[in-house]
Chains A and B, each alone.
Chain A
Amino acid sequence: MFIRRTLPLLVSAIFGVALIFQFFIPHPASKSFYNMMLDWLIIVSAFTYLIAVQSTVELHITKIKRKVEGWQYSIIVLVSLFVTALLGIFGGAFMPTTLWMKIFHNVKPTDTTPLMYTYLYMQMPMQSTIFSLLAFYMASAAFRSFRARSFDATLLLITAGIVTIGRVPLGEFIYKGLPDVVEWILKYPNMAAQRGILIGVQLGIIATSIKIILGIERKYLGGGK
């Protein structure tokens, strides 16, 4: 219980309070403590990727072993994972490694590395495609649910129409002052509403942080109470 509950709570309380006070103490000793904390954070972050790899490998090996539906795709995932990693390690990230140039004599230091090749010609088109889906989904969502059901909805509809047209050159072609109207909408009505939500959100963020530091909120450690 001490290791699973009390110790983590103690650690988060001590470091939480220490880092709050550190912000108010400019002394070099406080700065070096702060720098040490940042170094720790960076080092811990680097190791979390190992956990990520472990999780991915374990999940897909289990799928293959149990032959769950679509297990063949798991093989593709694992092969891609290891081939990409190997290409990066032996071929180099931005410049071909000496080992790679020794194996393939015609490779020059200025050549595109195999890792960069997979990045440019496989990852780029695949990810761009996913992002472009947004346009299609937006169109269908707008068609399906953007209805003038009430006065508020009508107001929203008109505003959205103005912003949609005013954000492209065509809007300016139709009416020269439209981009300014759009800027005004974004700068004032949009921002007023956003700030209302933001103030609430920020207070929520501060309260949650304080709850964690004080040990009132413990659910992130798992379990209920």
Chain B
Amino acid sequence: MSTTQAAIEPLPTSPRRRGGWRAVRERESLTGLVFVAPFIVGFILFSAIPMVASLVLSLTDFDPREPDEIHFIGLANYQQMLTDPVLHESLGVTLRFALLVVPLTLAAALGVAMLVNSKLLAGRNVFRTLFYMPMQIPLVASTIVWIGVLHATTGWLNYGLEAVGLPGPNWLQSTFWVGPALGLMGLWGIGNMMLIFLAGLQSVPTELYDAAKVDGAGSWASFRHVTLPMISPVLFYNLIIALIAAFQYFTQAFVVSNGRGDPDRATLFFNLNLYREAFGFFHMGYASALAWLLFVIVLGLTVVLFKTAGSWVFAGGERCPRWPGRSAGRGPPRVRSATTCGDSVRSPR
């Protein structure tokens, strides 16, 4: 992550004098460490030790029902991954879904952000709130609502399709249509992305649009050559968050298929498979290995995206703006370059 800059950036100097006063500084260090202690202890207890333990467990056949029967089996779990057809299927499901849902939600979020940013729109705040709102519905509840809407015979989506003369598919029971169905559901999760795009759009200087107009650019040309490059940092940020979220996809798939991955494993996402291995079959050694595979994939994707970012993310060489805080007034604060500014990240969790 480029989070480094956030921290390397010069830290505010202490009000106390720098030289001399050794005792005072030692006390300051100590006080600081005491306040930070919850993080340090929590990191050791809930991140560092479990990470090491999970790596060790991935080399065993640990089963929580028989914790004393644990055996060291070397890389056997990793070898099993190579030939596990269910795992391969779950990777395929996850990958195909990511390829569908990431562009879909990005495009929808950008489109809606541009819509609710339009000067011609009356009641823009109302629309912003309404487009954001579905994100606040508990995921299990919203999934249940969508299950009803997507029902083949009593769902309103198929009523609508029938009304315009299209045959409505059996969304959730068809191995082909269940992916698009989950994609549609994903549209209810565009809220955060939309707000972040909106902040990006509002930071584009209007002079650039004026200049483009003078040069004879139409609306598409000014979108393509002004808007897109100027918001590429937030686009990049949203892309990473969406990709990570796609690989973490679980709740919707679980509720739609009651945890089975139906129909015919078409909703057996990577995480659902991991859940079943760990808590259905109690193959916890193998599940630990799967967790590390997920970590490597997510880390790999992030690194690859950051490597390619230079060629398309326009950061303009600006220094990061400082946090505007309360002086920013109302409305979303201005954004300049999210990626160079340590995008850390409230992911849509």
A and B bind: no
Point out residues on B near A: beta carbons under 8 Å.
none
